[in-house]
Amino acid sequence: MHLTMKDEILQRFLKANGEPISGQQLADDFQVSRTAIWKHMQTLQQEGYEFETIKKRGYQLLSVPDKVDVGQLKQLLQTDRYGQTIHYFDKVDSTQLVAHELVRAGAKDGTIVIAEHQTTGRGRMLREWESTKGKGIWMTIIIRPTIPPHQAPQFTLVAAVAIINAMKAMFKNFTPEIKWPNDILINGKKTTGILTEMIAEADQVQALLIGIGINVNQQIADFPDELQSIATSVSIGEGEQVDRVQLVAHVLQFLENYSDHYVKHGFQFIKELWEQSSGTLGKQVKATSLREVVEGEAIRITENGVLEIRQANGEIKGVYSADIEILD
């Protein structure tokens, strides 16, 4: 992966674990002048990294800014493709919109768009998605799987199980659950939404744009009044501040593994993972779609990711896209 010299200098400091590094040492290692190193140090400080200059020993990294730091992310990532190209923004309208432009420009499989803040974040069913600055993960991943268009909805479930298992690997104080099709709940409240958009020809997907919104470090007062009773964050669930860069790296790693597994071996394994983490199956639910309201017991998901509901009269109905309310 190509890192800029500034990123490489940052990596050196992150790996040094608080030990000072001299400007001369860096100048020698990178074969540039000390002035060039000093300029990069200035830029890092403008980006929010705090350094102390220790006489005769050099610069010591004191703190990193609370932002999704691309240098740190690159250092953590062990993926082959996902996150190997990163488009990072302090503010965008929506990472989905940026990703659409990148797809048109030929972006590679695994390219990500990530922002600290979205002014017009988009949710499913044309809703707005609240994207508080610096508190969440607002990210779109461009995936170019060799699958026909009708399999695209399964990929949303691939993303859901990747996020769930990334959370399970990192956090011990809560058990995240999936609410069909792809909301992730902590203690019954929504922490994550997934919006999958597709660009396809008749028989082949060109690109999937998997938009992931994870509420990470919000406290309840950070949510608008109307969301306070239904939304939560990973930090509220875990009871401590969460490292967003680590979470992004985990999500990308699980997503790459599961996507590759799915493309090679099919849906069965993903379906099993989904069922293990489902907070919907076996429950009484009310599914409201544009066409109808279906009430009954959620009994299973099909190979196509369709939720089947057994109504009180015994009739089983498949639901393709709906809002689900869990009744018991």
Interface residues with ligand BTN (CB under 6 A) are 94-96, 118, 121-124, 127, 129, 131, 138-140, 183, 193-195, 211-213
Q: Nearest distance from residue 94's CB to ligand BTN, in Å?
A: 3
The residues that bridge with 294 in the sheet, in sequence order, are: 287
The CA-to-CA distance between both ends of the chain, in Å, stands at 49
Q: Nearest distance from residue 29's CB to ligand BTN, in Å?
A: 38
Residue nearest to ligand BTN (CB): 193
Check: CB of residue 41 under 8 Å from CB of residue 6. Answer: no
Q: Nearest distance from residue 3's CB to ligand BTN, in Å?
A: 25
Nearer Cβ to ligand BTN, position 84 or 95?
Answer: 95
Q: Nearest distance from residue 254's CB to ligand BTN, in Å?
A: 17
Number of Cβ within 10 Å of residue 189's Cβ equals 19
Which ranges in the chain belong to alpha helices (H)?
A: 5-15, 23-30, 34-46, 70-76, 95-104, 152-170, 234-238, 244-265, 268-276
Q: Nearest distance from residue 34's CB to ligand BTN, in Å?
A: 41
Please compute Rg for the chain using Cα positions: 22
Nearer Cβ to ligand BTN, position 83 or 193?
Answer: 193
Nearer Cβ to ligand BTN, position 13 or 182?
Answer: 182
Nearer Cβ to ligand BTN, position 49 or 138?
Answer: 138
Q: Are β-strands 86-92 and 112-118 bridged in parallel, bridged antiparallel, or unpaired?
A: parallel
The residues that bridge with 54 in the sheet, in sequence order, are: 58
Nearer Cβ to ligand BTN, position 129 or 258?
Answer: 129
Check: CB of residue 266 under 8 Å from CB of residue 148. Answer: no
Q: How far is CA 175 from the centre of its chain?
A: 18
